[in-house]
Structure 1
Amino acid sequence: MAEPEGTYPTALGASDLRTITLLGHDLARDVMGEVGFGELAFWLATQRRPSRGQVRVFEAVLAALADHGFTPTAIVTRLTYLSAPDSVQGALAAGLLGGGSRFLGVTEDTGRFLHEVLEGLDQRPGDEAGWDAVALEVVRRQRAAGRFVPGLGHHVHKEGDPRTPRLMAIAAEEGARGPHLELFAAVGRVHPQVLGRTLPLNGAGVCGAALADLGLPLELLRGFALLARTAGLIGQLAEELRHPVAQRVFLSVDSATRPVEPDPYAAPAPGAG
């Protein structure tokens, strides 16, 4: 049925003089104090209320991605707050804008990559050997094309990312270990045959696989990583207030600058490259 002209339909938040509704429920009576934030975030994104098991897996993902130390996103948040202490939103935004292909964006990249592979299968494997065969072909194809496998490798956890087996176990316990996680696990088992070395399945990647198995929109997987990291960045700012380090970071770089001769940029010749 066509919507009346001049109206804007939404199943999300709406209000009138006396009430506020959210997802078809009275916000004050049915949601506040009754629905946890993780459950609500899932519900808002899918417009279907998750099961308790789905909430547990989803919140485990949020916990896994909340903070990972002095990453570039954390450092830039602290430095921005140092520069503009009147703008908490600017400091948080600075950190979130750094969520890309090396940090946080891997969650979405991995989920999309695994989903594309699954979409190309005529039939999904029924056992570990079948998943290994699919993964082996995928890794070989990526290697032949000179492309990385998203979610494979970590700059710190070179002997294994502790988040990965834990999230795999939680998903299995809740009956939420689906094809994306199965394929991701198979990549972890077979890639040494192609690459000649063993790399860890990283936490950002396993989070992407888990979110995809929960049926969350692939286009929003990075958004969930940013949702998690927002909490971590607030923690970074809270610690900066108590134990500031941004000034030292700034001064350590500033005091180490060294004047050099200009290095002019040379544009490539027409037709080159």
Structure 2
Amino acid sequence: MGTSDPTTITLLGENLAEDLMGEVSFGELAFRLITRRRPEPGQLKVFEAVLVALADHGFTPTAIASRLTLHSAPESVQGAMAAGLLGGGSRFLGVTEDTATFLAAVLAESAEPADERGWDELARTAVRRRREAGELVPGLGHPVHEQQDPRTPVLIRLARESGTYGSHLALFEAIGRVAPGALGRRLPLNGAGVCGAALADLGLPAEILRGCALLARAAGLLGHIAEEMRQPIAGEVYRAVDRNAEYVDPDA
């Protein structure tokens, strides 16, 4: 993928200093590193929109972990970054990969529907099977955005406008339409899920998509770390938890 000698650095077959620096965005380089192909303009637009969508979501557990780690080890920025990234799992960030994997499995078992009614029926069957298996449908619901995740319609619109809207997003939208009837309650399509569907439509393999989410969140975590250095809050978080925790005698 890359190599170097005393005078040059070569990456993806190109001279890093002369051909890439100042010529391509970081998003384009990341896309090329992952896929080994140049993105079309529409693909790059959606890919970079996903990175922006997943960069930060406030005082989440990943951000808290980074800030507390920096408070404990202020000399270790790398430790603070790593602490936040390690929290990318099934509840935060990992949903991007989980949704893409789920959608790809459904699509692999069925022919692509010809119309919206067909997509809805396919989605209804997929949701029912998940319920029967006692599993949640990835990409549904959000702890803050209970009515609509503001990222979802924007990413869907960008995908349509850029010509990258495909079967994964079509199925994901259908799941959003049928979920209230199938589940008996309304759960919005969340941003992490729509990011997974959009990336899958770009042709990125599902098993790498958690890495894409972590790539995006790394920028947000670095921002939290920089803010923590300027305006520390982790000490207050630590003291608030420590002073308000209720001790329970294990032998009582």
Q: Extract unaligned runs of 5+ from structure 1.
A: 1-11, 265-273
How much does 1:257 deviate? 2.9
Tell me the distance in 1 between the aligned counterparts of 2:89 and 2:209.
12
- CA deviation profile, 1:81-135 (whole Å, cap 9, x unmatched): 00000000000000000000000000000000000111111x2012111111100
| Corresponding residue of 2:126 | 138
Say which SS state the counterpart of residue 261 (structure 1) adopts: coil
| Corresponding residue of 1:257 | 245
| Corresponding residue of 2:4 | 15
How much does 1:258 deviate? 3.0
Match of 1:206 among 188, 194, 201: 194
Say which SS state the counterpart of residue 255 (structure 1) adopts: helix
Tell me the distance in 1 between the aligned counterparts of 2:245 and 2:164.
51
Give the TM-score taking structure 1 as reference length. Answer: 0.90
Tell me the distance in 1 between the aligned counterparts of 2:15 and 2:65.
39
Q: Extract unaligned runs of 5+ from structure 2.
A: none
How much does 1:260 deviate? 2.1
| Corresponding residue of 2:38 | 49
Say which SS state the counterpart of residue 10 (structure 2) adopts: strand
Tell me the distance in 1 between the aligned counterparts of 2:251 and 2:3.
57
User: Structure 1 counterpart of 2:175, which letter?
Assistant: V
Match of 2:16 among 13, 27, 42: 27
| Corresponding residue of 1:127 | 115
Alpha-carbon RMSD across the aligned residues, in angstroms, is 1.0
Q: How many pairs were matched up?
A: 252
Say which SS state the counterpart of residue 21 (structure 1) adopts: strand
* Counterpart mapping for 1:40-119 below 5 A: 40-119=29-108
When structure 1 is superposed on structure 2, of 166-175 and 234-243 the one drifting more is: 234-243
How much does 1:263 deviate? 5.5
Tell me the distance in 2 between the aligned counterparts of 1:160 and 1:149.
16
How much does 1:20 deviate? 1.2
Tell me the distance in 2 between the aligned counterparts of 1:73 and 1:140.
32
| Corresponding residue of 1:236 | 224
Is 1:219 paired with 2:219?
A: no
When structure 1 is superposed on structure 2, of 61-70 and 15-24 the one drifting more is: 15-24
Runs (4+) of structure 1 exceeding 3 A deviation are none
Higher helix share: 2
Identity %, equivalent residues: 66
Tell me the distance in 1 between the aligned counterparts of 2:251 and 2:174.
47
Tell me the distance in 2 between the aligned counterparts of 1:263 and 1:217.
51
* Counterpart mapping for 1:132-211 below 5 A: 132-211=120-199
